[in-house]
Structure 1
Amino acid sequence: MTTHGKAATGRSRVGRLRRTAVTGLSFLVLLVSGVGWVYLKLNGGIDTFSADGLSGDRPPGSSMGQNVLVIGSDSRAGGNSELGGGTGAVGRSDTAFLLHVYGDRKHAVAVSIPRDSLVEIPACRLPGGAWTAPKHGAMFNAAFSVGETAEGNPACTQNTVERLTGLRVDHTVVVDFAGFSALTSAVGGVPVCLPHDIHQRDLSPKLPTRGARIFAKGPQTVSGQRALDYVRLRHGIGDGSDLGRIKRQQAFVASLIKEVKSRGMNPTTLLPLADAATDALTVDPGLGSADRLLAFAMSMKNVDLHNTKFVTVPWRYEGARVAIVESDADALWAALKADRTVDGKDASGRRSAERDRTDGDSAPSAAADPLLGKGISLAVYNGTTVTGLAARAADLLRSRGFTVTTAATASRQDHVSTVVEYGPGLRNDAEKAARLLPGARTDASDSAGIRVVLGSSYTEDSSATTGGTAPSAVPPAVADEARSADDDPCADVPQG
């Protein structure tokens, strides 16, 4: 793993926390803008982090799409020291996106995960090789600091996201804000919008007076340091929360992607953007070379602005922290697993695959494989008041090759989400069952075997796209708040 420099800075911790909130944005913009081919012209290497810390008990790939975790780091290396990088010895992260690129390669959605979300941090590898015990009810951003190293622990954050979502993370990228600042300058500035004038104290609340005006009310274009100041701004606008800042960051990234697209895809304009975006890029070994980044980015060049969405994982306040609303979050993860878009469309690309199979060019999808569950035994319990639900689910599972040993009523009938509980060494088998049950999540158990408890999210509705059941829709609370990359930058931004 590459270790970043430790040059100290004179900036305050408050400045560091605010600025780190923007560090994941530059790679996201590069990725969905389809400019990966210019990596072939880049000089110098791309840093990679070790995969030794990735969990050995990971979710299998469950759709034709791909998931990319983008983490913001407060590294003090290089140009970050001049921009106010972290002053502590431990690498930290305050921003994370899970970017899901759908199987049709025409749709994408970035899901923001609030830094203060209370989650389970699973076992993570320390620098010396030992593994930590799982932590329950921990803040999400604490995962990146496990091991207390300057470069942070991206593998631990990836393990945490996989545990939270039940989705396999195909690639993880760590970026810092020096590249973000350079990117906004390279593109010639980004249109933004402010509800009222912003003064120095809004940016630095410890100042004794409000200071000079740094942003005027209304539409304007920002780049470089001013772009950083805009995106890290939290106080004096909206409700002053990190959640409000996330919405403003999403609006900024949407506007930035729109600006990149408008400049056209040619070497003259794209090379400086790629240089800026990769200035402080650390990736997993699977993306650790220019040609791999090229192939990956080019696979997404057809994702357009309107089909590029931004949402936040469903949440509620729990004291000063953020609790994830599990029933809605489970439905969101299930929709992504099934390649269902925010507005309910099938974006899996399976229809095209079906057409290909008529020419004998493709194999059947795993979800439609009648032998998907061959050799796997499990029990099914109805955790709802709907009569006969366990029997119907059992029939579906048997049709896919599973051996159902029990179909009965659960001890409680108030389950909302469907849970597939699994004993030691059975996670992969449990995930295969979960792929057929809309809204299902997997959960480790001390008991032996696999046990399915059906929740009210499960409905029997045969569908060719999911191998037997209709996928869960994205919850209305999430869909209604979604932003597209082609939206007006002044629309739906937190007001003062």
Structure 2
Amino acid sequence: MTDATQDAAPTRSRGRRIARALGATAAALVVAAAGTGAWYYQRLDRNITTFAPEGIASSRPPAATPAPTGGRPVNILLLGSDTRDDGNNSLGGGDAGVGHSDTAILLHVYADHKHAVGVSIPRDTLVTVPPCRLADGRWTSERTNQMFNSAFTVGEFENGNPACTQNTVETLTGLRVDHTLVVDFKGFAAITSAVGGVDVCVPNDVDSHGIHLTQGRQTVSGQQAVDYVRARYGLGDSSDIGRMRRQQAFMSSLIKKVQDQGFGLTTLLPLADAATKSLTVDPELGSPYKLAEFAQSLQDIQLSDIQFVTLPWRFQGARVAVVEPDASILWNLLSQDRTLDGRTTDTGTGTVPSTSPSPGASPSPSATGSATATGSATGSSDRALLDAPVTVHNAAKSGGLAGRTALALRGNGYTDITIGADTPTRRTTLIEYAPSRRAAAERLAQLYPGAELRSAADVDGVVLTLGQDRALADTLDALNGTGTDTTGAGAGADADGSASPGALPSSIPSGIADNTRPADTDLCDDLSFG
């Protein structure tokens, strides 16, 4: 095993973009093959590169405490390097030089190790970069109002400065980063090839900046996979926000592919080899045994129990500003090991205040049906209705509406939710159901006054097709209880708009709900912005 040498590069990289953190998740999930034989162990051990621990800040947030059930939450920072060194220019183009970390995902694994949420941090987010260590041992001064991806370039190390980015994330979030993994273009391409390709959906033909993609569903690997997650121009408004949505969809598909293939040696050995070659990791993960042990702890997480959310954001000129108090609420939820709707994963109970109906009364959410919780005191018969499978389609042409609705339904106690592809525009909402699911459909209709109920023999479970009567403005009204919060200062906010320490929301903040993508969302849904 070798420590990464961090000699300063002679010149700064000139605007090269898009680091690939996505393959790091596959590495974390499947490197458990590492212990199958001493010879293979030694091979993987030689593959792994670690970054020097001296650059990790001495003053850090405390480590998470174990849950009453015995498990402990884990925060993993997945980064990418868009360096063109070491042959990466054949995949990304450009010249050799310092890489950037233009893709960053903080993966929070809950204490039960059966649920996870990945928080995407836009590369252009304006943040405070704390003091970071240089190659000669000196430390920089704190710098405010800096682009997030600049932290990786501090010191102009040939292999980047992951310790500085880790320090920056801990300063931004108040969460302790337990592990950091970095992957480059070559490693990402190798991982996608090792799993036999990854299913993706291209929103439209792309022929720009050396990237050529054809519209539609397809399986990509190697160069095509790199192109898919790099593509920005010619899609939506060509912003990084839309690209992050496609990267989240890609990561979901990659995880699904690995889980579908299973964890047999035929899958794991080539994948472990590809993954370890691609990784630079923190010292605590710097051996095949440690990586295998860590990966083993993640294998019970199902795709339906993973969500992605983009850090609440808004454009600030050409850059991205953090939206408060939504961002602070997000960090508070994760620090308390709560799901995005404020619930605990061990019991399914929530602390988000709800508007509970009086006995015998029906819930009365606003027109979207993305209602506040109707209360946790449900009988066994009602529990069975909430367990019915529900598929959500967006026919309102309101971007992200299906994902927000799924999040709200989970907050109302529904457990089996699938997000389907967008469908042709409808004016009104439709609830279709298998004949045996009539009671479940009627229960769901309580949340959607005015929705059409229709029995359909070809439907499995209940299908909710959201019409234009469930448009975005009404969704935000429902999420805020009595109307859209135009001030941006929701429950638990301090005077400056940031959330009070430990504050939990009284409803799902729009900055979280609008930017959430469940991992089991249809491949072709919600892939562009603008």
Q: After TM superposition, is the score higher than 0.5? A: yes
> Are the aligned partners of 2:6 and 2:157 in contact in 1 as well (CA < 8 Å)?
no
| Residue 484 in structure 1 maps to residue 518 in structure 2 | yes
CA displacement at 1:305 relative to structure 2: 0.3
Cα deviations across residues 260-301 of structure 1 (Å, max 9, x unaligned)?
111112011121122222222111111001111111111111
Distance 1:494 1:82, change over 3 A: same
| Residue 97 in structure 1 maps to residue 95 in structure 2 | no
Q: Partner of 1:58 in structure 2?
A: 60
Q: Partner of 2:22 in structure 1?
A: 25
Letter paired with 1:274: A
| Residue 153 in structure 1 maps to residue 161 in structure 2 | yes
Q: Partner of 1:84 in structure 2?
A: 92
| Residue 196 in structure 1 maps to residue 210 in structure 2 | no
Q: Partner of 1:278 in structure 2?
A: 276
Name the Cα RMSD after superposition. 3.1
SS across alignment from 2:325:
helix
Q: Distance in 2 between matches of 1:53 and 1:472?
A: 39
| Residue 493 in structure 1 maps to residue 527 in structure 2 | yes
Q: Partner of 2:375 in structure 1?
A: none
Q: Distance in 2 between matches of 1:181 and 1:7?
A: 25
Q: Partner of 2:50 in structure 1?
A: 48
| Residue 170 in structure 1 maps to residue 170 in structure 2 | no
- Show structure 1 runs of 5+ residues with no match: 206-213, 352-413, 419-437, 441-452, 460-465
Letter paired with 1:102: Y
> Are the aligned partners of 2:33 and 2:265 in contact in 1 as well (CA < 8 Å)?
yes
> Are the aligned partners of 2:309 and 2:516 in contact in 1 as well (CA < 8 Å)?
yes
SS across alignment from 1:295:
helix
Q: Distance in 2 between matches of 1:178 and 1:262?
A: 24
> Are the aligned partners of 1:457 and 1:472 in contact in 2 as well (CA < 8 Å)?
no
Letter paired with 1:247: R
Distance 1:296 1:472, change over 3 A: farther
| Residue 228 in structure 1 maps to residue 226 in structure 2 | yes
CA displacement at 1:2 relative to structure 2: 1.1
| Residue 218 in structure 1 maps to residue 216 in structure 2 | yes
Q: Partner of 2:142 in structure 1?
A: 134
SS across alignment from 2:53:
coil
Q: Distance in 2 between matches of 1:289 and 1:439?
A: 43
Q: Partner of 1:238 in structure 2?
A: 236
CA displacement at 1:120 relative to structure 2: 0.4
CA displacement at 1:80 relative to structure 2: 1.7
> Are the aligned partners of 1:332 and 1:473 in contact in 2 as well (CA < 8 Å)?
no
Q: Partner of 1:250 in structure 2?
A: 248
Letter paired with 1:52: E
SS across alignment from 1:3:
coil
Q: Partner of 2:310 in structure 1?
A: 312
Normalising by structure 2, we get a TM-score of 0.65
CA displacement at 1:470 relative to structure 2: 5.8
Of residues 271-280 and 153-162 in structure 1, the stretch that sits farther from structure 2 once superposed is 271-280
CA displacement at 1:480 relative to structure 2: 4.2
Q: Partner of 1:386 in structure 2?
A: none
Distance 1:128 1:487, change over 3 A: same
CA displacement at 1:485 relative to structure 2: 2.4
SS across alignment from 2:338:
coil
> Are the aligned partners of 1:189 and 1:221 in contact in 2 as well (CA < 8 Å)?
yes
Distance 1:191 1:25, change over 3 A: same
Distance 1:490 1:148, change over 3 A: same
Letter paired with 1:203: H
Q: Partner of 1:475 in structure 2?
A: 509
SS across alignment from 1:478:
helix
Distance 1:456 1:280, change over 3 A: closer
Q: Distance in 2 between matches of 1:290 and 1:301?
A: 16
SS across alignment from 1:181:
helix
Of residues 186-195 and 37-46 in structure 1, the stretch that sits farther from structure 2 once superposed is 37-46
Q: Distance in 2 between matches of 1:242 and 1:174?
A: 20
Cα deviations across residues 340-364 of structure 1 (Å, max 9, x unaligned)?
112432026899xxxxxxxxxxxxx
Normalising by structure 1, we get a TM-score of 0.69
| Residue 36 in structure 1 maps to residue 70 in structure 2 | no
Q: Partner of 2:342 in structure 1?
A: 344
Q: How many residues align?
A: 376
Distance 1:161 1:417, change over 3 A: farther
